[in-house]
Amino acid sequence: MTMIERHQTNQRMSRIVKHNGVVYLCGQVGDGATVAEQTEDCLGRVDKLLREAGSSRDHILQAIVWLADMADFDEMNAVWDAWVPRGSAPARACGEAKLADADLRVEIIVTAAVIES
C-alpha cells in the first residue's frame, strides 16, 4: 500500500497532500488590491508550498485558476506568463467562480510531480 503524506493539516483540509510522487496543493489565494497583486502573492505561496513538498514550478502538471470576474483574465495571465518557466507550462484551466470572500479576485489550485532525488 502506498503511503499518503499530509502536511499542514487541520480538521477541514491539508495544505499539501503527497501520494505516488504527486503533490496536490489546496487552493491558494493572495493579498492585494488588484488581480495582478493577488496573483503574484498567490503564486509566491504556491512556490513556498511546492518547495516544502519537494517540488517546484518546473514540475507542475496541472493548474486550475478561478477568477471572480473573467474581465481580469488578461491581467492575471500577464503575471502567470511571467511566472511559468519557459517550456514547463502545465495543463491549465481557467474559469469564473464566486470565491470564498468578496475581496478575493483569484484562486489557483496546483498539482505537481515530486522532484526525484
Q: What is the pLDDT of residues 22-54, one digit of tens each?
A: 999 999 999 999 999 999 999 999 999 999 999
Helix ranges restricted to H, 1-117: 35-53, 73-83
How many residues can be counted in the chain? 117
CB 54 within 8 A of CB 22: no
Which of 70, 64, 62, 63 has its CA nearest to residue 98?
Answer: 70
Q: What is the CATH number of domain 5-113?
A: 3.30.1330.40
Global pTM reads 0.94
Whole-number Å distance between alpha carbons of 78 and 52: 26
Which of 50, 51, 67, 46 has its CA nearest to residue 109?
Answer: 46
Give mean pLDDT, residues 5-29: 96
